[in-house]
Structure 1
Amino acid sequence: MGNSERKHRIVILGGGPGGYEAAFAAAQQGAEVTLVERAGVGGSAVLTDVVPSKSLVATADAVAAVRESEQLGVQTTVPGAAGKPVRPEVVVNFATINKRLMSMAAAQSVDLQHMLEEDGVRIVHGEGRIEAPGTVVVATAKGGKDFDTITADTIVVAVGASPRELDSAKPDGERILTWKQLYDLKEQPEHLIVVGSGVTGAEFASAYRILGSEVTLISSREQVLPGEDKDAAELIQNVFERSGMHVLSRSRADKVERTADGVRVTLADGREVFGSHCLMAVGSIPNTAGIGLEELGVQLTESGHIKVNRVASTNVPSVYAAGDCTNFFPLASVAAMQGRTAIMHAMGDVVRPIDLRNVASNVFTSPEIATVGYSEQDLEDLGELHTRSVVHKIPLGVNPRAKMSGVKDGFVKIIASKRTGVVQGGVIVGPRASELIFPLALAVEHMLTVDQIGSAFAVYPSMTGSISDVARDLHVR
């Protein structure tokens, strides 16, 4: 590092969760930090992905709550002719919803930028590229006339990913859309066709169906959400079909074209599906091309993701990477952890390598699916399911708080070691599952046993009571 007076210089490419958390951590450690961002602080997680999409889900939840309130004895009526009560419709003002989502995302971005600047982080707006080891060049003007050259002791690459586009279904921002373009719509899609039944496709299909759009979900697999717990995916597909969504399983979209007043999706078997709009949710591509990684010798996967280890190091000394541009786990919380871990490792602080098994994740459908730890599939692949591990599940419908709230769909599932009772994994499907999973995340992180969970007091009545019930049922004598 040269003389002890000089600060450690850190340059971060990308201002998403991986980048901004790295910047906060580096500033806290007393480094000289420069954050390079082309769109806005917060990256796509804040501006176009997580924040607006989960806000849309919150709106859908509010609509569902109003619609379902009648079963709780709440009747919303207005006086009609001769004073007879008439039920009002739940009307969704789509332009207002999208305006709120985007203004909220922008506000979050501005807040983050102020907090970073208060911590002494220098923010450079532009396109960054690694020119040589320890040198980053930023094109700070459109057309690349103005350049800013920055010297770094450590570089953190957190450039994120973009929606994958297919030549046979080119998004036009009007009828054929990526998930980033949905928020530009001025009116609600009459019939939204969603291509892709992974997390993104399922979340938007769920929200738009609740908001009142006709929805067709085209899934190339047997079941929606192929990467999730099988019981959870089956339950969500049942909920989708009950809601009137058209789920086309084992169907592959070959091409998507505009028609006079909408879209036509042609399936591999020749069938045609017509709708007003089409959302392409067919994965994402890392933004790693053309930023100097290959020239520097940074190892990439075939798909262009940066290969990193559990402390976010690449194969090139003093170059780290975090978030969706890496081959790790595309979650905002993981990106943030990678960003912090990279800085701790670079600056010689105490580092705990990230254990992906301990990551809690959530699918924001209605109901939500939250998971942590080993899945049943993981243990089946290891040959340990039923021999060394035990799985127990209780439906949420029997929970007293769920009954009071009119909740019928959902369950709590815990996977534990047969011998020791240590919690190996958990799945919760239900309203606010993202909040309910935390005790199981603590259990997995700290290797707690089912008896330790079962002996803690849960509020009666509460949804968390079902976690205690499952744990007690798994009591090891």
Structure 2
Amino acid sequence: MSYDYDLFVIGGGSGGVRAARVASQTGARVALAEEYRYGGTCVIRGCVPKKLMVYASQFAEAFEDAKGFGWTVGESSFDWATFMAAKDAEIDRLEGIYNKNLKAAGVTLYDARAIVTGPQEVTLASDQVITAKTILVATGGTPFIPEVEGRELAISSNEIFHLPTQPKRVVVVGGGYIACEFACILNGMGTEVTQLYRGTQILRGFDNEVQDFVAEEMRGKGVNLLVGTDVAKMEKTADGILVTPDNGAAFTVDEVLYATGRAPNSAKMGLEDVGVALGKKGEVIVDQYSATSVPSIYAVGDVTDRVALTPVAIREGMAFVETVFKDNPTSPDHELIPTAVFTQPEIGTVGLSEEDARAIEPIEVYSAAFRPMMHILAGRSERMLMKLIVSKASRKVLGCHIVGHGAGEMIQLAGIAVKMGATKEDFDRTVAVHPTAAEELVTMSTPTR
């Protein structure tokens, strides 16, 4: 049978774009459909604009700290509109690069919604029907706002990037990394922030010591963090939005930001109609090679709900091309993935938490909390945390956890050592870089427990 394309990709995010470009470079005829903007969640309304907001929010402390080092700093203020315009210009630039690179690789682009209407057929919003030998679903995820009275008054992490004016009072609902990051961002920009989380502690799934450490530091910076608390209802009033929690007194804010999780973006895609199996949350079920239950259809990235991280989606896209177009069956490696959370202070982590490691085997824990050199002259009480989880039997470093300035940068490099199976003695043999915060990783000599 003759097909219009060898590969049709649905979704122009990180995973889909990488798969389309690399597949096209093998000589395959490739097309990609994107209904919104090229770059996906990460570039358009995720990692990239969020990191720019993190940078913007950190200058308030930088101005304060400069005084401790002899600088005379004049009156400063933050202009939301100026920053948003600069952020939008950068996102436009990056989207243009994505578009340009796809075209340069020979990928045919369709600026339209596409759904699957057959094992080897997609239909665009214009009703144009296109056939392809292989279909790759890379539609990502979408923010999830639970059913609660007044939910139409809330915004998600999508809308926060497009608010025309800075909210002066905000409730952030959720305890995951997105909620915590935005609570810190808005707090740093001068917004009065209350964060509500129904669980017992924020950052569920992270090392317990890291959870407690970050929560304490966030409160110290002014975030009104309330755990064991959820929203009962929201009502519009003349002064804003009246938020009634399920315990405690109600209060009024300008915006309510829900960051309570994301759902795979698989609804109304026609997937189940053609036999593609979906999980309970709508995730596309795939095997180790990203193949679905329909032999000609594959899926990568957040829509599969495996590991919802941009670099992972890219790796999955690359492995898909190796498997399907280079006759080299390749399974993406989801073990020991370093990751950063851009809270303030930020988190860098790779490997097992203390709790997970202890449930598997006897371990040693090396932990150090201290005030970094920069904070001392600045008169800032913020501390840093360094933590290593070590197997007693193999001496391998099973987990590395860092909280503090530059944690994301550090964990990228520490992640290489952990991925290679480095032992505590390998860390000990490494000469410290002095004076740095990171030297603590190679100088901790006595287990704390």
Please state which band the TM-score falls in when normalised by the shorter chain.
over 0.9
Deviations 1:42-61 (A, max 9, x none): 01221112211111011112
Deviations 1:63-106 (A, max 9, x none): 321222222332314xxxxxxxxxx2x20001111222222112
1:358 corresponds, among 325, 336, 359, to 336
> Structure 1 stretch 223-232 or stretch 296-305: which is displaced more?
223-232
Task: Report the residue type matching 1:253 in the other structure.
Answer: V
Task: Report the residue type matching 1:229 in the other structure.
Answer: D
Residue aligned with 1:153, SS? strand
1:177 corresponds, among 147, 155, 160, to 155
Residue aligned with 2:335, SS? helix
Task: Report the residue type matching 1:166 in the other structure.
Answer: P
Partner of 1:105: 91
Partner of 2:349: 371
Q: Within 2, Cα distance between the matches of 1:442 and 1:349? A: 28
Partner of 2:291: 313
- Asked if 1:423 corresponds to 2:423, the answer is no
After TM superposition, the score normalised by the length of structure 1 is 0.87
Partner of 2:45: 48
Is the CA contact (8 Å cut-off) linking 1:102 and 1:183 kept in structure 2? no
Partner of 1:324: 302
Distance apart, 1:255 and its partner CA:
1.7
Distance apart, 1:192 and its partner CA:
0.7
Deviations 1:298-338 (A, max 9, x none): 22111111122333222221322111111201111111111
2:265 corresponds, among 276, 279, 287, to 287
Distance apart, 1:7 and its partner CA:
11
Q: Give the 5 Å matches for 1:30-109.
A: 30-77=27-74, 88=75, 90-109=76-95
Q: Give the 5 Å matches for 1:197-346.
A: 197-269=175-247, 271-346=249-324
CA distance change for structure 1 residues 171 and 41 in 2, over 3 Å: closer, same or farther? Answer: farther
Partner of 1:161: 141
After TM superposition, the score normalised by the length of structure 2 is 0.93
Residue aligned with 2:365, SS? strand
Distance apart, 1:123 and its partner CA:
1.2
CA distance change for structure 1 residues 22 and 171 in 2, over 3 Å: closer, same or farther? Answer: farther
> Structure 1 stretch 361-370 or stretch 148-157: which is displaced more?
148-157
2:413 corresponds, among 439, 446, 452, to 439
Point out where structure 1 has 5 or more consecutive residues left out of the alignment.
78-87, 140-145
Q: Within 2, Cα distance between the matches of 1:406 and 1:340? A: 48
Higher relative contact order (CA 8 A, sep 6+): 2
Distance apart, 1:348 and its partner CA:
4.0
Is the CA contact (8 Å cut-off) linking 1:310 and 1:355 kept in structure 2? no
Q: Within 1, Cα distance between the matches of 2:6 and 2:430? A: 47
Q: Which runs of 4+ in 1 moved over 3 A?
A: 169-172, 348-352, 399-408
Q: Within 2, Cα distance between the matches of 1:453 and 1:32? A: 48
> Structure 1 stretch 192-201 or stretch 403-412: which is displaced more?
403-412
Q: Within 1, Cα distance between the matches of 2:330 and 2:11? A: 24
Aligned residues: 446
> Structure 1 stretch 183-192 or stretch 345-354: which is displaced more?
345-354
Partner of 1:409: 383
Residue aligned with 1:239, SS? helix
Q: Within 1, Cα distance between the matches of 2:273 and 2:396? A: 47
Partner of 1:143: none
Partner of 2:22: 25
Point out where structure 2 has 5 or more consecutive residues left out of the alignment.
none
Is the CA contact (8 Å cut-off) linking 1:162 and 1:287 kept in structure 2? yes
CA distance change for structure 1 residues 222 and 63 in 2, over 3 Å: closer, same or farther? Answer: same
